Amino acid sequence: MSKKKVLYITQEIFPFFPEEGIATAVRRLAQGVQEEDKEIRVFMPRFGVVNERRHQLHEVIRLSGMNLIINDSDHPLIIKVASIPKAKMQVYFIDNDEYFKRKSVCANDDGEFYEDNDERAIFFCKGVVETVKKLGWKPDIVHCHGWMAGFMPLYLKKKHDKDPHFENVKIVYSTYNQCENQTFRDAIIDKLKFDDFSDEDLDVLKEPTIENLDKLAIKWADGVVIGSETINENLESYIKESGKPVLEYQNEETIINAHQDFYNNILENDEILAS
């Protein structure tokens, strides 16, 4: 039997980000799952805080060169890659000078949330989709980590569900205690409607906050992981009401085995329903 394939889409991973939070969780999880029995790919944005020289990032010419349309405007997609030798892993970076060259992640020096964070997240998710298709790689599970990957469940379930690279894929979303009070511009709905999503598809995002982007991801995901020790009560209630399979927060000792079981249960349940 061929190995199951897991695609990790994350806004950060160690060692490209400090060893804490999402970056640590994704590094430990992706490495551990690969060492156990699954084939993996990892994608993150090429934020300006990532030191390209130190980490030896290089552009993958055969994957770059495409333009992605965001809100009726063209934006060049650049793909870079770097290795984590100790983990025998590669990380693919979604890059674009307009969106990711700045020397901070999601806020300026005054702590103000970037006005184009909605477009940056959309570009990231669409860039991952197109790159995976170019790679000719079909994941069994797509595991999204953090709000920057929050649009991915929507795109996969409503726009790419008939694509042979993503049809029948199972989507897991990990939510973290992060930026939940930050707000996007109201124009986010129109930008998503440009990609043919309906009001019903986007209903939980009428108030465009990070918390509601989490809810949007949960709405379209097949399973939910609590990535932080605590999350806010509203989100906790929404997860319970969704009826989706949930994996509670795991420490560093249990994270790998717990996720392996969670992935396998989601895949097995799908196989039972299909039989």
Q: What are the pLDDT digits (tens) for 227-255?
A: 999 998 999 999 999 999 999 999 989 99
Is the confidence at residue 132, as pLDDT, over 60?
A: yes
Task: Give the mean model confidence (pLDDT) for residues 177-203.
Answer: 90
Over residues 31-78, the pLDDT tens digits come to: 999 998 899 999 999 999 999 999 999 999 999 989 999 988 999 999
Residue 110: per-residue pLDDT: 86
Query: Of 75, 66, 74, which is closest to residue 97 (Cα–Cα)?
Result: 75
- Map residue 13 onto helix, strand or coil: coil
Q: How many CB atoms lie within 10 A of CB 261?
A: 11
Q: Does position 223 have pLDDT exceeding 60, yes or no? A: yes
Q: What is the pLDDT of residue 272?
A: 37
For residue 125, give the nearest of 7, 246, 260 by alpha carbon: 7
Has residue 271 got a pLDDT over 80? no
Classified as helix, coil or strand, 202 is: coil
Please compute, for residue 241, the number of CA atoms within 13 A of its CA located in the half-sphere on the CB side: 8
Q: How many domains is the chain partitioned into structurally?
A: 1
State the DSSP code for 114: P
CATH code (residue 206): 3.40.50.2000
Higher-pLDDT residue of 87 and 224 is 224
Mean pLDDT of 138-146: 97
pLDDT above 90 coverage of the chain, percent: 85
Expressed as residue numbers, the domain containing 63 is 5-274
Q: Could you give the percent of the chain with pLDDT greater than 70?
A: 97
Query: What's the whole-number mean pLDDT along residues 148-171?
Result: 96
| Overall average pLDDT of the 8-30 stretch | 95
pLDDT at 262 over 60: yes
Position 273 scores a pLDDT of 37
8 Å CB contact between 223 and 187: no
Q: How confident is the model at residue 275 (pLDDT cuts 50, 70, 90)?
A: very low
What per-residue confidence (pLDDT) applies to 85?
85
Contact residues for 271 (Cβ-Cβ < 8 A; gap 6+): none
Using the 8-state DSSP alphabet, how is residue 185 labeled? -
pTM of this prediction?
0.95
Reported confidence tier of residue 1, pLDDT bands at 50, 70, 90 = low
